[in-house]
Amino acid sequence: MEFSTASAHEALDCRTPRRQTAPVVVASPHSGSVYPASFLAQTAVPLAALRRAEDAFVDELFSAAPALGIPFLAARFPRSFVDANREPYELDPGMFEGPLPRSLNHRTTRVAAGLGMIPRVAASGEAIYRGRMPSDEIEQRLASCWRPYHSALSALVEETHRQFGSALLIDAHSMPSSASGVGPRERDQRVDIVLGDNHGESCAPDLVDSAERWFTSNGLKVQRNQPYAGGFTTQRYGRPGLNRHALQIEINRSLYMNEARHEKLVTAGAIERLMAGFLEEIAGQAATILAPRPLAAE
């Protein structure tokens, strides 16, 4: 399937409940697995190498959200095609031929690593493209994927804030078990969940504390902000001073999938139920902790 501006909804999986009952939105920017044929024709690596960048099955792990009264948004386009967790013009200029946007931001550590809004390298570190691509590809991908995703996400967050006076965005991700600081290690050393709040800048501390307590009480080892503190999404949508909060959650893939074969394990169902329980818990906590306080009488 090709993504086009005429049918931008094709790039998204947006599920809203009949009635939203909690000030929470769940989003998965990296679980997309629909690879446009035109993109694959440009690549120099096999599809299996591209798929290693996916947060595979994360959309399924959080699929209970609408039934719990929580809106859910997932990108259907793959991360190796467009990374929705990057700034729109966070790009490596060496990837393109032709005039470049004046707003190009190439001086970031992510671009230096080859992981801009249009990634230069696959998860293995191999170059994705056979050669340079036309610079007009930038605007095409922004129009067909990046902007529809953030337009939808902004609308969900703003409607949630309008309805409840507060909003908590759960930005759902997965991490390879081999990630720095995560493993592979013995079971008592492995980190299962990383909570990222942009080092305290994107989410109310009480909510992060609640999330950590809940996962820990369910037998998972939790770490904060290492090695993942959050990306563009937590920075853009996490505005605690405006009662808009964003919390990134990274789930160790070895809990629910065979990373080499890109297949779910029999434990995936248990992790899906665990995440449903977490959403129930954090929805209740958010409703209490983020409830707007009445102004004191003069």
CATH number of the domain that residue 73 is part of = 3.40.630.40
Please give the Cα distance from 102 to 98 (Å, whole number): 12
Q: Which domain holds residue 270?
A: 5-82+145-289
Please give the Cα distance from 122 to 80 (Å, whole number): 7
Please give the Cα distance from 240 to 199 (Å, whole number): 13
Alpha helices in the chain (DSSP H): 37-40, 47-51, 58-61, 109-112, 136-141, 147-164, 205-217, 232-237, 268-289
40 in Cβ contact with 76 (< 8 Å): no
Verdict on whether the full-model pTM lies above 0.85: yes
- Is residue 176 over pLDDT 60? yes
Task: Establish if 265 belongs to a structural domain.
Answer: yes
Please give the Cα distance from 134 to 114 (Å, whole number): 18
155-165: pLDDT as tens digits? 999 999 999 99
Q: Looking at the 3D structure of the chain, how many domains does it have?
A: 1
Task: Establish if 251 belongs to a structural domain.
Answer: yes
130-142: pLDDT as tens digits? 999 999 999 999 9
Least confident of 13-17, 149-153, 189-193: 189-193
Task: Establish if 100 belongs to a structural domain.
Answer: no
27-86: pLDDT as tens digits? 999 999 999 999 999 999 999 999 999 999 999 999 999 999 999 999 999 999 999 999
251-276: pLDDT as tens digits? 999 999 999 999 999 999 999 999 99
Please give the Cα distance from 75 to 130 (Å, whole number): 25
Task: Establish if 111 belongs to a structural domain.
Answer: no
Task: Establish if 106 belongs to a structural domain.
Answer: no
pLDDT score recorded for residue 188: 57
